Amino acid sequence: MTERETTPLTVATINVNGIRAAVKVRHEGNQGMLPWLESTPADVVLMQEVRADEKQTQQALQPALEAGWHLVQAPATAKGRAGVGILSKIPLEDVTIGFGHSNPEIPEAREFDDSGRYIEATLAGHDVRVASLYLPSGSANTAKQDEKYRFLDAFAEYLNNRAALVASENKELVIGGDWNICHRRADLKNWKTNRTKSGYLPDERAFLDHLLGTFPDEATQVGDAEDSGRTGNPGGAAGDFFGAVEYTPGETARRRLEAGAASDPHYFDVVRQLHPAEDGPYSWWTYRGQAFDTDAGWRIDLQVATAGMCERARRANNAWVDKAAAYDQRWSDHSPVVVEYS
């Protein structure tokens, strides 16, 4: 590796749940996102659900931009929805929005070009590209779940192609974001009661098997004895596409199912690689009930990286969820997931 490839780098990913709301001062003990930006060790902050146009985002983050942060953004065409962005202390180059342009053989990928769900850029002076992802949340038995399955089809093809291209360019890639899927039982506190809910459906989890493999398990948890219980998984099995309304799996979905879990993956769930035996650490808690106080959370905010970056994370061995000390100190229903890369 060259010197520029090994410059230490700290990356955070956070679903801000609306940037204009995130920066608001709620009370003396909760000054919003801006003080967090002043204190975070992160060099790069990957943001999701920005829910603002570029002018509104720049206004919300003006103090941070004046302090030297660089901003690139991909707002959604639909106002007040989705939106991703990258804040970086390092200048950003070669910015690309969406992923349909790289999949001419998959025209359905163009559906998401203007949806504010993916932005990617190179860090100047580093052989590293960073990306912010806001994967559709879905909702079983609604059109939102169809949209999510279509996204998984197109995005899987993009990621498979992207791995080879990044390697040919002698670069590494970190995709941080709200992936809206819990891969394993350890990623969801109340997994048994959520098996029919979007975010923990068999075909969603099988998508992550295909991308990341089954680490630290020897085989997939999808459909195993514990997952199914005595009467089967009420959310179906991989290939059932439970919760779809009009979605019909096409060739890309069939190819992914046939390939199954990656035995030699190109991408790695960095936090899970560093914390293989831990429940969580969770990054999202519903505002309802006492979920935050009892840590009844979901681990859906991931940093997924290519092999070289994963190795750098292993060397640094420092990844954490920057969880607020108390419920009323939160400025989002998500908490930042931070990883140090040596």
CATH number of the domain that 232 lies in? 3.60.10.10
Q: What is the pLDDT of residue 338?
A: 98
CB–CB of 7/339 below 8 Å?
no
Q: Which of 192, 204, 187, 180 is nearest to 233 (CA)?
A: 192
In the prediction, which pLDDT does 247 show? 97
315 within some domain: yes
Specify if 3 maps to a domain. Answer: no
Query: What was the pLDDT predicted at 169?
Result: 87
| The pLDDT of residue 289 | 84
- Residue 157 resides in a domain: yes
Per-residue pLDDT of the chain (342 residues; tens, 9 = 90+): 444 447 999 999 999 999 999 999 999 999 999 999 999 999 999 999 999 999 999 999 999 999 999 999 999 998 889 999 999 999 999 999 998 766 666 666 788 989 999 999 999 999 999 999 999 999 999 999 999 999 999 999 999 988 888 888 889 999 999 999 999 999 999 999 999 999 999 999 999 999 999 999 999 999 999 999 999 999 999 999 999 999 999 999 999 999 999 999 999 999 999 999 999 999 999 988 899 999 999 999 999 999 999 999 999 999 999 999 999 999 999 999 999 999
Q: At what angle do helices 251-259 and 202-212 cross, to 10 degrees?
A: 70
Active-site residues, by number, are 134, 178, 334
Contact 326, 260 (CB under 8 A): no
Q: Domain containing 226: what range?
A: 9-341
Assess if residue 4 is contained within a domain.
Answer: no
d(CA 178, CA 250): 25
In a domain, 107, yes or no: yes
Binding site as annotated, residues for Mg(2+): 15, 49, 178, 180, 333-334
Q: How many domains does the chain have?
A: 1
pLDDT of residue 4: 43
Report d(CA 219, CA 296) in Å as an integer: 26
- Domain contains 130: yes
Position 103 scores a pLDDT of 62
1 falls within a domain: no
**Phi and psi at residue 84, to the nearest 5°:** -130, 160
> 121 in a domain, yes or no?
yes
DSSP states of 106-160: -GGGGGGTTTT-EEEEEETTSSEEEEEEE-----TTSHHHHHHHHHHHHHHHHHH
Instruction: Identify whether the C-beta of residue 220 lies closer than 8 Å to the C-beta of residue 209.
Output: yes
| Per-residue model confidence (pLDDT) at position 206 | 98
- Which pTM does this prediction carry? 0.96
